[in-house]
């Protein structure tokens, strides 16, 4: 069964002057264990699609089923619970808590899941080790590099063992060498741990790490299929 | 859930130390002021109540005087119109428990090489009932001492200390204005009277002895005032009328003529004084509470700034699964922790301030557990009340917009 299933998803934004049709009918199925890149020019609706996929926003019309739940029918509190249990977020700007240690940062989703303190800390340390940051548990985010910070963010996204990890321009603030390292980490997590990954990017060499490409244009899916051969990984 | 959030609140405060300190200062001053003002109010109230208690209850003061002399009206006590016989007649009125005619004055008291200036009251045994005097040592004088004008004295404890040091004064001789008196009793400490006199630095002697051998008097048998103790508050009003009628009769004052004495209901005067101090205490507390509210508004102000500054953080928290009530609690706890820490320091400041006032002035502030609890409770309530609006604002943010906030 597909972990993500969008059927005829529409999204309108109504301003005083006009109604904007940002998504005009999206049908998309993503199976567990897939590694999907979403691309599209500015204004194509990829941020809106990402917000809907991330349960931060709900469709105006159509059905979005995430891990069996119909998202449109849930209230704020249930959406928060769904984000907490089934989704992991990785942002362009890392978005770590500046005052908290790396361990506490990684453990934060578990706080909201109600996991006990000892259990939280253990799982956070394990996760930090998995992204290559063992020994940094008590450091603060401003002590480490951007690439390391993004690894912490990935650890935080994975700590709750979510069904899907959503990464919005995860390499946007990183140089190309570090970008490649982050994408390698994603690729390894997908291959070895079976993590379902959706990466939004506007760079072909980042998208090239994925196994499937979804191309958006003007609120519709223009292309959905394997990575085109002209996309080259930046290794 | 609450545990990690309190940690977050403390971390947030530590990250902005200067700001947290200034915010707390409002609460510190507010709570400190409330505790200090209530302590001062309570101190004044207590001293008034103690004076009332030491004076005795259900008390009348009959003062001689207010006569006319060739058209010039004299003040109370200026003419010796009350006599010991008047006092005895008052004693016979129904409802009177005791009367104490008194002739007060000052005198130099000498014991061997030591001498001390003090106040001397000539009175009758009724005085000890009227003023509810308890004895530390020895005993009061009795009616036979008054009749015989014997040279016996009851002295206050601080005078005893001054004259005899630690030794027992019972049976010792003191000279009051040259006349020798035998000390037969020492009172228990009574503190200050309502008009500020030290009631422990006194010599009490039979009124007859005082008039004949210590002060002398214009009219033999006359006294300056008579204290009258009634059996209960319910007879006070009737008794006042009865006493006035009796004395007008005895002094042969005709209808239309002014009294040459005045009867004062001391209990009602004292109660008025007590309710005045209670009102003053309330007023002090109310003024201090305003500063608490100002402190609360300071907290709200800072929390609103904090919510705006941390909009992005709120967005991230919501994205990774914080429910609205988690965010609400986070900010609410932060303002509660701010106000409680401020309050703790405020309690210390308030208690310290009360001590400083006690050292620097005549006032005796009393910090009660009640006022500390009140300050604490109000501060916690203010933390919740003024923290709620900013926390609500944080919790009602839309996650997408919060995440996009720069």
The residue range of the domain holding A21 is 2-98+144-226
B322 closest CB neighbour out of A80, A85, A160 = A80
Question: Is A53 a domain residue?
Answer: yes
Contact criterion met (CB < 8 Å) for B320 and A77? no
Q: Tell me which chain A residues have a C-beta less than 8 angstroms from the C-beta of B399.
A: 56
Question: Is A113 a domain residue?
Answer: no
- B17 and B101 inside one domain: no
Average pLDDT rounded to a whole number, residues A77-105? 90
Chain B residue with minimum CA distance to A156: B320
Residue B7's pLDDT is 77
Contact criterion met (CB < 8 Å) for A112 and B312? no
Q: Phi and psi (nearest 5°) for A95?
A: 55, 55
What domain count does chain B have? 2
Q: Which tokens hold the place of A135?
A: 């020994």
- B161 and B254 inside one domain: yes
- B137 and B231 inside one domain: yes
- B400 and B333 inside one domain: yes
Contact criterion met (CB < 8 Å) for A80 and B1? no
Average pLDDT rounded to a whole number, residues B370-377? 83
Contact A134, A128 (CB under 8 A): yes
Distance CA A164, CA A198 (A): 7
Question: Is B101 a domain residue?
Answer: yes
- B190 and B89 inside one domain: yes
Question: Is A216 a domain residue?
Answer: yes
The CATH number assigned to the domain holding A27 equals 3.40.50.300
- B199 and B96 inside one domain: yes
Question: Is A88 a domain residue?
Answer: yes
DSSP sequence for chain A: -EEEEEEEEEEEEE-SS-EEEEEEEEEEEEETT-EEEEE--TTSSHHHHHHHHTTSS--SEEEEEETTEEGGG--HHHHHHHHHHHEEEE-TT----TTS-HHHHHHHHHHHHT--HHHHHHHHHHHHHHTT-TT-TT--GGGS-HHHHHHHHHHHHHTT--SEEEEESTTTTS-HHHHHHHHHHHHHHHHHH--EEEEE-S-HHHHTTSSEEEEEETTEEEEEEEPPTT-----
What domain count does chain A have? 1
Question: Is B71 a domain residue?
Answer: no
- B135 and B104 inside one domain: yes
Question: Is B393 a domain residue?
Answer: yes
- B292 and B395 inside one domain: yes
Chain B residue with minimum CA distance to A87: B320
Residue B44's pLDDT is 84
Element (H, E) at B186: strand B179-187
- B99 and B224 inside one domain: yes
Chain centroid offset of residue B22 CA: 35
Element (H, E) at B359: helix B324-360
Quick check: A141 pLDDT over 70? Answer: yes
- B285 and B253 inside one domain: no
- B44 and B84 inside one domain: no
Average pLDDT rounded to a whole number, residues B369-382? 83
Share of chain B above pLDDT 70, in %: 92
Contact B376, B347 (CB under 8 A): yes
Q: Which of the residue ranges B54-63, B82-91, B340-349, B354-363 would you say has the lowest mean pLDDT?
A: B54-63
The residue among B3, B306, B319, B401 with the most chain A CBs within 10 A of its CB, best to mutate, is B319
Q: Tell me which chain B residues have a C-beta less than 8 angstroms from the C-beta of A77.
A: 323-325
| Nearest one of B109, B139, B104 to B125, comparing CA atoms | B139
CB pairs under 8 A between A and B: 61
CA distance A95 to chain B (A): 7
The residue range of the domain holding B299 is 2-51+280-404
Rounded alpha-carbon distances, angstroms, from residue B259 to B65, B81, B132, B250, B268: 8, 10, 29, 11, 21
- B318 and B367 inside one domain: yes
Q: Is B316 on the interface with A (CB under 8 A)?
A: yes
Distance CA A33, CA A66 (A): 14
Distance CA A71, CA A83 (A): 11
Q: For residue A167, with 0-12 CB atoms within 10 Å meaning exposed, 13-18 middle and 19 or more buried, which class applies?
A: buried
Chain centroid offset of residue A105 CA: 17
Residue B366's pLDDT is 85
Angle, vertex CA B126, rays to CA B121 and CA B127, nearest 5: 35
Q: Which tokens hold the place of B132?
A: 């509810």
Question: Is B17 a domain residue?
Answer: yes
Q: Which tokens hold the place of A123?
A: 């799982």
Contact criterion met (CB < 8 Å) for B324 and A77? yes
Mean confidence (pLDDT) of chain B: 84
Question: Is A117 a domain residue?
Answer: no
pLDDT tier for residue B223 given thresholds of 50, 70 and 90: confident
What are the beta bridge partners of residue A36? A198, A212
Question: Is A109 a domain residue?
Answer: no
């Amino acid at each position: 069964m597909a972990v993500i299933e969008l059927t005829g998803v529409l999204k309108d934004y109504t301003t005083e002057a006009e109604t904007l049709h940002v998504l005009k009918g999206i049908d998309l199925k993503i199976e567990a264990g897939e590694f999907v890149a979403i691309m599209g020019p500015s204004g194509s609706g990829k941020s809106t699609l990402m917000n809907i996929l991330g349960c931060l926003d709900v469709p105006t019309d159509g059905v979005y089923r995430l891990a069996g739940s119909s998202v449109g029918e849930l209230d704020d509190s249930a959406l928060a619970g769904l984000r907490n249990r089934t989704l992991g977020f990785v942002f362009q700007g890392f978005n770590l808590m500046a005052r908290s240690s790396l361990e506490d940062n990684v453990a934060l989703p578990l706080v909201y899941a109600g996991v006990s303190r000892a259990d939280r800390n253990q799982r956070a340390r394990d996760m930090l080790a998995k992204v290559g940051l063992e020994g940094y548990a008590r450091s603060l985010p401003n002590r480490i590099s951007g690439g390391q910070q993004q690894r912490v963010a990935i650890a935080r996204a994975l700590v709750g063992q979510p069904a899907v990890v959503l990464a919005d321009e995860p390499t946007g603030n990183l140089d190309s060498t570090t970008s490649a390292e982050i994408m390698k980490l994603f690729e390894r997590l997908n291959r070895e741990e079976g993590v379902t990954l959706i990466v939004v990017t506007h760079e072909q060499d980042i998208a090239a790490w994925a196994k499937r490409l979804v191309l958006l244009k003007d609120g519709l899916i223009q292309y959905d299929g394997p990575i085109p051969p002209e996309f080259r990984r930046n290794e | 859930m609450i545990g990690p959030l309190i940690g977050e609140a403390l971390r947030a405060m530590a990250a902005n130390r200067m700001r947290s300190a200034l915010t707390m200062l409002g609460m510190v001053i507010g709570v400190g002021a409330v505790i200090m003002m209530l302590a001062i109010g309570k101190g004044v109230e207590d001293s008034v109540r103690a004076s009332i208690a030491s004076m005795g209850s259900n008390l009348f003061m009959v003062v001689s005087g207010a006569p006319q002399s060739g058209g010039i009206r004299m003040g109370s006590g200026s003419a010796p119109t009350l006599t010991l016989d008047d006092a005895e007649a008052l004693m016979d009125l129904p409802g009177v428990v005791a009367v104490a005619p008194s002739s007060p004055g000052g005198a130099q008291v000498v014991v061997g090489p030591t001498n001390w200036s003090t106040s001397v009251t000539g009175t009758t045994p009724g005085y000890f009932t009227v003023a509810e005097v308890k004895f530390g040592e020895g005993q009061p004088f009795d009616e036979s001492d008054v009749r015989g004008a014997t040279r016996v004295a009851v002295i206050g404890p601080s005078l005893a200390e001054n004259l005899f040091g630690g030794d027992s004064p019972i049976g010792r001789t003191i000279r009051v204005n040259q006349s020798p008196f035998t000390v037969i009793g020492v009172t228990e400490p009574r503190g200050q009277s309502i008009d500020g006199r030290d009631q422990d630095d006194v010599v009490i002697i039979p009124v007859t002895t005082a008039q004949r051998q210590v002060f002398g008097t214009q009219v033999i048998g006359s006294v300056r005032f008579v204290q009258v103790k009634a059996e209960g508050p319910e007879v006070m009003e009737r008794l006042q009328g009865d006493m006035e009628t009796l004395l007008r009769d005895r002094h042969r004052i005709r209808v239309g003529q002014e009294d040459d004495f005045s009867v004062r209901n001391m209990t009602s005067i004292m109660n008025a004084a007590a309710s005045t101090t209670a009102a003053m205490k309330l007023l002090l507390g109310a003024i201090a509470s305003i500063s608490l509210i100002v402190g609360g508004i300071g907290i709200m102000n800072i929390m609103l700034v904090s919510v705006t500054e941390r909009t992005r953080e709120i967005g991230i928290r919501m994205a990774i699964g914080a429910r609205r009530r988690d965010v609400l609690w986070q900010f609410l706890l932060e303002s509660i922790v701010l106000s409680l820490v401020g309050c703790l320091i405020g309690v210390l400041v308030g208690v310290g301030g009360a001590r400083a006032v006690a050292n620097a002035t005549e006032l005796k502030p009393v910090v009660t557990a009640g006022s500390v609890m009140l300050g604490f409770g109000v501060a916690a309530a203010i933390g919740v009340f003024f923290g709620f609006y900013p926390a609500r604002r944080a919790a009602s943010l839309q996650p997408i917009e919060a995440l996009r906030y720069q």
